[in-house]
Amino acid sequence: MTDGPASGTDTVRTLGEFGLIQQVTAGRAQPPTTLLGPGDDAAVVAAPDGRVVITTDALVEGVHFRLDWSTPRHVGRKAVAVNLADIAAMGAVATSVVVALACPPDTPASVAAELMDGVAAEAARAGVGVVGGDMVRAENVVLSVTALGDLGGRAAVPRSGARPGDIVAVCGRLGWAAAGLAVLGRGFRSPVSVVNAQRCPDPPYASGPEAARAGATAMIDVSDGLLADLGHLATASDVGIDVRTDRLAVAERLVDVGTALGADPLHWVLTGGEDHALAATFPSFADLPEGWVTIGSVVLPDTGVTVDGTPYRRESGWQHWS
């Protein structure tokens, strides 16, 4: 075992658990909310609000990512982003993440280091500390992240607060990751802007707390597709939701890709997952924060989620085990 820098031929087996931990944690900066970072049995993180918002997600090789499609750095960033989007969807500001890496023993140490570089880069972009974690052996690569957040004295924004008469709004990109997946699935690697949207999302982290301050009644991270996730919100709130397609922006780049692939870009916008935009409901009189766009309305229960007043006849989003 060695605690020095990894060579190009090192694997996680030859470097060893503690050598790898030393490599990926050394020199990482921490925000003020980290009171005690990596190196002990557990981390200590400040909770200024007195409450902690917590979420976890795992990314599994072959299910959530492919290393022939994405670099390890992309995967590391994505693993953090999907969790921080959940924190934002509660109206909270993320404070720290804990990371568990599982991988085969012959995984190049450089791959593990690049995964953690991506983790650190996305955490730093959000002002969040990587405060600890674990490393274990597995049959394929799994990167699991737990994120913590602070509500800043506000109430959390659940999925269950929408009421008839509220407006429905979104913030962030929709359909880009689905378009990127379609491009990669055809064996192409461009346009890069679309492909990279699938490799690593760009959630609007600050927009969740901003929506909470503006009076959002319910909110959700769009991970499985707009219609599917609005369906979760509608079920939790016991309401119906109608989405207006004339309010949905379909980017010109998605139109170009859809034309090239013979696909409907509006379907990507309505049902594509992994963009990690935010969707929320607001009272009709609310002033929406910058970046939020009204796309529909909350209606009476028993209507489900409709598109332009009618049920959507195609698959509405991603489902595990389907």
- Say if residues 274 and 317 touch (Cβ distance below 8 Å): no
159 is in an annotated binding site: yes
User: Is 256 annotated as contributing to ligand binding?
Assistant: no
Q: What is the edge-to-edge ordering of all strands in the sheet holding 53-60?
A: 53-60, 142-150, 93-103, 129-137
Q: Where are the beta strands (DSSP E) in 7-126?
A: 34-36, 44-45, 53-60, 93-103
Tell me how far apart the alpha carbons of residues 235 and 282 are, in angstroms, rounded to a whole number.
Answer: 17
Judge whether 221 is annotated as a binding position.
yes
Is 41 assigned to a binding site?
Answer: yes
294 among annotated binding-site residues = no
Has 10 been labeled as part of a binding site? no
What sections of 93-246 are H helices per DSSP? 109-125, 176-185, 192-199, 207-213, 226-237
CB neighbour list of residue 317: distance below 8 Å, 6 or more residues apart? 224, 225, 226, 227, 228, 229, 231, 271, 273
Structure-block tokens of residue 161: 């607060």
* 3 is annotated as contributing to ligand binding: no
Q: Is 122 annotated as a binding residue?
A: no
133 is in an annotated binding site: yes
Residue 56 annotated in ligand binding? yes
Do the annotations mark residue 106 as ligand-binding? no
Annotated binding-site residue? 166: no
Alpha carbon distance 24, 21 (integer Å): 5
Euclidean distance between CA atoms 190 and 257, whole angstroms: 10
- Residue 125 labelled as part of a binding site: no
Which tokens hold the place of 138? Answer: 């597995």
What secondary structure letter does DSSP report for 169?
A: E
Instruction: Consult the annotation and say whether 16 binds a ligand.
Output: no
- The number of C-alpha atoms within 13 Å of 148 and in the hemisphere containing its C-beta is 21
Q: Which residues are annotated as a binding site for Mg(2+)?
A: 41, 55-57, 86, 134, 221, 224
Q: Which residues are annotated as a binding site?
A: 41, 55-57, 64, 86, 133-134, 159, 221, 223-224, 274, 318
Q: Which residues are annotated as a binding site for ATP?
A: 133-134, 159, 223
Q: Which residues are annotated as a binding site for substrate?
A: 64, 274, 318
